Structure 1
Amino acid sequence: MVSMRQLFLQHVAQTSDFPLMMEIEKAEGVYMYGTNGQVYLDLISGIGVSNVGHRHPRVVSAIQEQLEKYMHLMVYGEFVHGPQVQLSEALHQTLPKHLDNVYIVNSGTEAVEGALKLAKRYTGRTELISCYNAYHGSTQGALSVNGSEGFKNAFRPLLPDVRHIHYNKIEDLERITTRTAAVIIETVQGEAGVRVPENDYLKKLRARCTETGTLLILDEIQSGFGRTGTFWAFEQFGIEPDILLCAKGMGGGMPIGAFIAPQHIMAAFKTNPILGHCTTFGGHPVSCVASLATINVIKEENLLAGVQAKADLFKQLLVHPRIKAIRNCGLMMAAEFESFDVLKAVIDKAIERGVLTDWFLFCDNSMRIAPPLVITEEQIREACRVILQVIDEALMSQKFGKLKS
């Protein structure tokens, strides 16, 4: 009989030659349960998605209730969908007053695509600026503003008139001019290995964008929805964006994203041409109620209050000569090792012991630590105990392998 793993390899499109191949039959809270009886403590939240944990009861309940009413009815923007309206209002309540118009899509990369189009349409300009080592998604527009040539070259030609600057480099801000439609930037760089803005970098970026009439697009697809200890990461840095992007942790496990802007900017999509941006499934009512439930869980269960203490506990416990540094903004964390080879051996052994971690696309010597915000102190201690144990085991295995060869 053909196994599920064999069917997976035969019929499910692969994104690499080395998928993890974990077969999960159930997930709840911070744990995933394999078909082989293995229990995995999830330290990466499906790459920043399960901020309130897997299958949070309130999210599941909201989904079930909506399924009894209706699912898809009409393409986005035509009907008054209660779930869309309620979610948009709830998002607005978390934001500065000028960010009052929400365009709900299906994913982070779609939010990026919509925001880039909006910036060009509203400003009448064509130049886009992003950062080196930035990750904004994989569709062609989003890929154009990614900051890694290795990911882009095979797919050129991409969008023209895209420039890059170095994150945290104040001198590069002079490259933003009156030709620039928008700067798109991660408030905290994710796939670069958790790089936090320094020396009032974001304030100076905000000032330069204001000076040149450039729209500032903040990508909070990874850092939003409480990941950094505030609902939005930009709250910690004294600035406000013109357009805000969110997804990942937004849906409590359901697919959803959004780009958010002032109404007068978003109105650019309504004329010349009409339907300047449209989507069939964006704002799907089931995803919207899941997102609204997620917001309510974060607020009413006071999840933000515990983020910094939990991050501090990780930093206190993860002390080892092979860990060169730990960078973080809340529970968006990176533990740096000397090389990818060492890190990969540690990750593999940690998974064998039931702790799931990962690395970063543009920083492959650093371990990603981004657990559900509901993780407990006891669970953090257990995860760190396993990681420290497998570091020594991985190094011994490598050393023994070299001796044998």
Structure 2
Amino acid sequence: MPRPIGNVRLKAARVAAGFNSQQDLADALSRAAKQIGIRGLSIGVRQVRRWESDSPPWPQPDCQRVLVHLLGQSVESLGFTPPWNPEGTQPDRTRRALVAGGVAAVGLAAVPGQAVATTQPATAGADFAAVTRSHRRLYWSVAPAKLHPAVLAHATLGCALLPETTSSTRRTVATALAESYLLAGRIDFFDRREPSSASDTLLLSLQAAGEADDPLLGSAILAHMAFIPGWAGDRDAALERMIAARTYARRAPASAEFLAWLDAVEAECETRCGDTRTALHLIGHAEDVLATGNEHPSPEWMDWFSPARLAAFKGNTQLVAGHLPQARETLLGVLDEMPATEDKQRSVVFGDLAAVEAASGNPGQACGYAGQALDQLALTWYATGMDRVREVRRALAPHQHERCVRDLDDRLYGWSTTVSALSR
């Protein structure tokens, strides 16, 4: 399969920043130039088109300033090669970042100062991808603090391998690299609650997906990127990324499960932004999509979604909407349907059931479910699950003198729980 056409790094950075067209980026660059005091600079869509071509010209100094200011990356990281550095190598600081396994500064370049002396055999792609698959499976049982460094180190190896591969082997490495960065970004956001790091890591994942020319993987990455502004209450930014995610999904055969998951992601963003009516409509549409189905299989890497997961999304939205009896019924059904391997999600469901009982004025039942969530978190840590428990404890403030709430506090603020939470 031929290499993807154009400057995929700039394209990925543009889409990740919420500019779905070249015209959008051109307009934003022109506005940004005025904001940072560069007078008379107007960047047109033809210029952006040249920058996203196979051979992007080195931007003029003022254009460089605006690009870096708006997109938050160095000019080299955006896919431009300095005219004094035609081989495309980068400064020593990038070499140090690669060696150290740093994420934000690594990009997809070869290790600087080293000529590519060999071409990796075809087996290199399969071998690299095999480790990526192993990390994907380990995510569900290995503590995030232990798995995260291993995933980043593996991604760093992929960055070094990529320039040494060609043709289908290069595409295999790039696809596995994108998946590795996606997993690291998921750990950053859901397990470690570090949205800024997650944003940087997911951008690298999107760039690698561009190298692989894998639109469905790109769609999944963009949908994960929508979670970040969505959870922060920035509805416009979340929906821009969801529009991009759906656009990418149309470019490849997408399974019913994948399309339903996109609805679920958008529904969660709408819920976090206060529009539960739209969220419930999206979840209803996702249920219909799953019920109808299609002939396309889900990708192997999509192991984070199922009908039970969709029901968990629904139960949380019903809770936020104040539909407490419906939320209770939905979430109890999720516990019955959830496979035994869903340890992380189980802590979230227990937390949501605790929130249902707290909102219903049942502090004893709320503390019981919160305790079950803590039992699960003691086995498999998940920051999102702990967030749910803390939200429940805040809701129980009017009952804080009751014995059950004090017992919950003893567990929530015990030595082992507190130290574990702070060390993750």
TM-score interval (norm. to shorter)? under 0.3
Answer with 1 or 2: which has the greater Rg: 2
Structure number having the greater strand percentage:
1
With normalisation by structure 2, the TM-score equals: 0.24
With normalisation by structure 1, the TM-score equals: 0.25
